[in-house]
Amino acid sequence: MTVPLWGWFVTVAGVGLLVAADAWQARRPHEVQFREALTWSLVYVGVAVLFGAALAVFAGGKPATAYFAGYLVEKSLSVDNLFVFAVILAQFAVPARNQQRVLLIGVVGALALRAAFIAAGAAVVQRFAVTFVVFGGFLLYTGVHLVRAHGQTPDVANNRAVRLLRKVMPVTDGYQQDVLLTRVDGRRAATPLLVAAIAILSVDILFALDSIPAIFGITDSGYLVFTANAFALLGLRALYFLLVGLLNRLVHLHYGLALVLVFIGVKLVLHYAHTVNPAVPEISTLVSLLVVLGVLGVTAVTSLRASHRREGGSVTEGGAGDSPSHERATTR
């Protein structure tokens, strides 16, 4: 799919406006309630759907199908990332009024990182077709590792980025009136709020390593890869507070995501083999979309049923201030 320069400019400007709107909403430290989270989640999902509809009208059904398939994959991976974000917020005991600010920093950082990864990935894919095999192999490994690592709580409080920050400057013991930086004895010091933000930014890099190959398994269009990632990440802050009470009930999500990643890995390998030998069949984008929808749908249903049985048939409503169990956190 070829997009003129003005099309890129308008798209990037639109994404920038949405990020600005998200930042404006998070400008005042406060505890996000369910109604606010639901409203903004619906706004961002609605914008993503409208963009896909516009693609269908102006670019055709094939690009729109690829976009929606990529969006679903990236959104699903983002939901799984929320488990790790919940662990970070809990390990650093981030006050409820400051959680949305930390998450917003993570979302903006993820957008910047993925934009860079997409540009590099698109250039490599166009020049070296064998990259599809490398991406495919990586996704196969990631899918298996996702299942094997299920239940392990990541030690984000002591990862490399956090340790480096502690070496560069001192860190205060407590939170300092919603600020990231303060001064102690005349010397600049980081607050735990900045440490938590750095921890989320560091795991953003790891998340990008499997999300980018996954979306390139759907389409090699840099424009569709970027927009699917951008719209999946936008609104992630609100989505966290909307789903935080339900995260523990998505007990089979890791199995569904693992299956999706393995499927896309196989699709990438077959795509490369098809370029070498046209007799090798390819998996179409429409089939990919149907598989992703089917797997995620079945995963959601079986997760809720399993959670219902586990709770003895009683469903406890979760609010925006609840925190999911650390046992559900996964690492990729």
Domain positions in the chain: 17-328
DSSP 8-state class, residue 94: -
Q: Is the pLDDT of residue 312 over 90?
A: no
Tokens of 169: 């400057």
How far apart are alpha carbons 256 and 59 in whole angstroms?
Answer: 31
Closest CA to 280 of 289, 288, 272: 272
Residue 283 backbone phi and psi in degrees, to 5: -100, 120
Is the C-alpha dihedral spanning 77, 79, 80, 85 positive or negative? Answer: positive
Closest CA to 298 of 242, 266, 253: 253
CA dist 75 to 2, 30, 96, 167, 199, Å? 24, 26, 24, 35, 21
C-alpha angle with apex 303: 297 to 308, nearest 5 degrees? Answer: 130
Which of 34-38, 121-125, 196-200, 256-260 shows the lowest per-residue confidence on average (mean pLDDT)?
Answer: 121-125
Spatial contact of 82 and 200, defined as CB atoms under 8 Å apart: no
DSSP 142-177: HHHHHHHTTTPPP-GGGSHHHHHHHHHS-B-SS--T
Share of the chain above pLDDT 70, in %: 89
Closest CA to 106 of 175, 27, 204, 228: 204
Which of 32-41, 76-85, 291-300 shows the lowest per-residue confidence on average (mean pLDDT)?
Answer: 76-85
Give the global pTM. Answer: 0.75
184: CB partners within 8 A, 6+ apart: 170, 172
Mean of pLDDT over the chain: 81
How far apart are alpha carbons 117 and 113 in whole angstroms?
Answer: 6
The more confident residue out of 204 and 38 is: 38
3-state secondary structure (DSSP) of residue 128: coil
pLDDT at res. 189: 87
pLDDT at res. 304: 80
